């Protein structure tokens, strides 16, 4: 009996090895033949022993173990599928792996196995997958939805964020039409030619874990923002917008755009949450449209120098006049922002006329250039032109300079230089071009009547002579005898 058992064991091992080799090369029917041959061998050598059927369990052709009862595994698989299906009623579910059983008859007494342990190993290897539609961008799946209908709905919803349903339908009608000739646009009319995505999106059926399948709304959000989760930052004591932005690799403008209602003047509160998520959209919506308008062509300006005219003098040689044109623009708008704008067709209705000005360049020391410099070394305006203390204050007062030197505001000839009542020490300069300037309250005067002075040259020292409330310069400017505000002329 012992010899018979040993011989059977050798035969069984030999048959199992033959079976493993055959499984890799042929179909399951070969294993059945092997099992039959084995049964014949067993019958010939040990027909007195009781035989039982065992099952070699494979997951995707990978041997897992041997069981005497396959119903345990089948039951667990069936339960797993039913539980998953109850949570995903709209999905078509299946196993991600193929479970295969190969039967063999063996002596019951010589074969031991643990059905429960093998069943648990099988369940570790298999998962439930669902048929889904993947949206493919740049060759990579970026989102999964239930079916192709939902995938197409996502693409449509992305476009409808920037155009109306009516506009989208009109675009589709234009693209589907055989007639490529569109009616001419009316003035100030815009026509959408196409609504497209910045990258090609393809749809492919794949099997995926049900948990990775998104709703239409979440898929749209993911494509728009590149993420479904927003990173939040809590404001701490001492935080400022610039510092928060820099710490998260953002510009201040980006941080403001991410947080509605936040401005550069907003007062941050400790504990306040700010969105610091950098948006990296997978795709953009681009609208191509054309626009027709009648528009102004601005005239050009030209300055011609004339050495025979005094510097500061100008005259108009030719009045400028705007032109007109009818223009058709092609415009591309990405996510609501214009990215390109070009004229594709134009018709000049009226040519513009250039505006030509002749400018004098002739300089003589006694004649001003028509532009004025600040008459002190620094300082600030302590009193402006206008009514003050019930009477007209005819100039500006300049106080607290870096030093007290008073300078000629432009080239000219000194008309008067001396003490004059409430003005104290006063200088009047005629710039020989219609302008005169007055400098008052000086502590000392450095020029005399009839003297030619150049722009920026020293003419005196600031003081507080005459009717003065303190050390300052009282400065007046006249044009053709009319009082002017010096601040409108000083450069």
The answer on pLDDT for 47 being more than 60 is no
| Residue 480 β-bridge partners | none
The mean predicted confidence, pLDDT, of the chain is 86
Is there a contact between 460 and 377 (Cβ–Cβ < 8 Å)?
no
Q: Do 120 and 6 share a structural domain?
A: yes
Q: Do 48 and 25 share a structural domain?
A: yes
Q: Do 224 and 118 share a structural domain?
A: no
Where among 222, 252, 275 does a domain terminate?
275
The residue range of the domain holding 352 is 286-362
Q: How far is residue 182's CA from residue 170's CA, in Å, rounded to a whole number?
A: 12
Number of domains in the chain: 4
Q: Compute CA distances 236 → 202, 242, 270, 272, whole Å.
A: 45, 14, 5, 8
- pLDDT tens-digit map of 116-134: 899 999 988 888 888 999 9
- pLDDT tens-digit map of 60-97: 989 999 998 899 899 998 888 888 887 777 788 888 88
> Hey, what are 33's tokens?
């033949």
Q: Do 480 and 396 share a structural domain?
A: yes
Q: CATH no. for residue 345?
A: 2.20.230.10
Buried b (16+ CB within 10 A) or exposed e, 295-322: bebebeeeeeeeeeebbbbeeeeeebee
Buried b (16+ CB within 10 A) or exposed e, 99-119: bbebebbbbeeeeeeebeebb
Q: CATH no. for residue 438?
A: 2.70.70.10
Q: Do 170 and 147 share a structural domain?
A: yes
- Its pTM stands at 0.53
- pLDDT tens-digit map of 233-253: 999 999 999 999 999 888 999
Cβ neighbour number for residue 279 with a 10 Å cutoff: 13
pLDDT (average), residues 147-164: 94
- pLDDT tens-digit map of 10-29: 334 433 443 444 333 333 33
Instruction: Enter the DSSP assignment of 385.
Output: S
Domain membership flag for residue 164 = yes
* Per-residue model confidence (pLDDT) at position 109: 52
Q: Do 146 and 72 share a structural domain?
A: no
Domain membership flag for residue 132 = no
* Per-residue model confidence (pLDDT) at position 90: 79
Q: Do 81 and 37 share a structural domain?
A: yes
pLDDT (average), residues 415-435: 97
Angle at CA 150, nearest 5°, toward 144 and 156? 110
The answer on pLDDT for 469 being more than 60 is yes
The answer on pLDDT for 110 being more than 60 is no
């Amino acid at each position: 009996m012992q010899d018979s058992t040993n011989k059977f064991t050798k035969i069984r091992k030999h048959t199992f090895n033959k079976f493993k080799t055959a499984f890799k090369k042929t179909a399951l029917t070969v294993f059945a033949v092997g099992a039959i041959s084995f049964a014949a061998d067993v019958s010939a050598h040990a027909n007195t022993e009781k035989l039982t059927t065992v099952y070699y369990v494979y997951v995707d052709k990978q041997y897992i173990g041997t069981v005497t009862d396959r119903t345990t595994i089948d039951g667990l698989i069936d339960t797993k599928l039913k539980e998953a299906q109850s949570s995903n009623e709209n999905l078509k579910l299946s196993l991600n792996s193929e479970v295969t059983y190969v039967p063999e008859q063996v002596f019951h007494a010589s074969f031991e196995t643990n059905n429960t342990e093998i069943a648990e190993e099988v369940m570790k290897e298999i998962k439930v997958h669902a048929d889904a539609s993947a949206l493919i961008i740049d060759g990579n799946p970026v989102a999964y939805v239930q079916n192709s209908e939902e995938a197409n709905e996502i693409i449509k919803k992305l476009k409808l964020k920037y155009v109306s349903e009516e506009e989208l339908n009109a675009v589709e009608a234009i693209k589907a039409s055989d007639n490529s000739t569109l009616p001419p646009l009316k003035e100030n009319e815009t026509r959408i030619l196409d609504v497209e995505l910045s990258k090609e999106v393809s749809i492919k059926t794949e099997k995926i874990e049900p948990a990775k399948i998104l709703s239409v709304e979440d898929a749209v959000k993911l494509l728009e923002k590149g993420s479904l989760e927003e990173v939040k930052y809590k404001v701490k004591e001492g935080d400022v917008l610039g510092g928060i932005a820099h710490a998260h690799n953002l510009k201040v403008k980006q941080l403001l755009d991410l947080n509605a209602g936040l401005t550069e003047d907003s007062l941050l509160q400790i504990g306040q949450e700010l969105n610091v998520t950098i948006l990296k959209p997978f795709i953009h919506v681009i609208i191509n449209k054309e626009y027709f308008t009648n528009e102004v062509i601005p005239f050009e300006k030209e300055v011609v120098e004339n050495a025979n005219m005094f510097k500061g003098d100008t005259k108009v040689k030719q009045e400028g006049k705007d032109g007109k044109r009818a223009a058709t623009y092609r415009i591309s708008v990405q996510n609501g922002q214009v990215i390109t704008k070009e004229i594709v067709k134009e018709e000049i209705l009226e040519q513009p006329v250039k505006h030509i000005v002749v400018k004098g360049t002739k300089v003589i020391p006694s004649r001003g250039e028509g532009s004025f410099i600040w008459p002190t070394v620094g300082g600030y305006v302590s009193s402006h032109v206008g009514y003050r203390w019930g009477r007209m204050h005819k100039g500006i007062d300049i106080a607290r300079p870096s030093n007290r030197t008073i300078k000629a505001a432009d080239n000219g000839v000194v008309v008067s230089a001396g003490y004059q009542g409430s003005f104290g020490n006063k200088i009047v300069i005629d710039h020989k071009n219609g302008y005169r300037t007055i400098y008052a309250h000086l502590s000392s005067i450095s020029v005399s009547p009839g003297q030619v002075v150049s722009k920026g040259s020293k003419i005196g020292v600031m003081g507080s002579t005459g009717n003065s409330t303190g050390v300052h310069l009282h400065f007046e400017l006249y044009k053709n005898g009319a009082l002017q505000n010096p601040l409108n002329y000083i450069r």
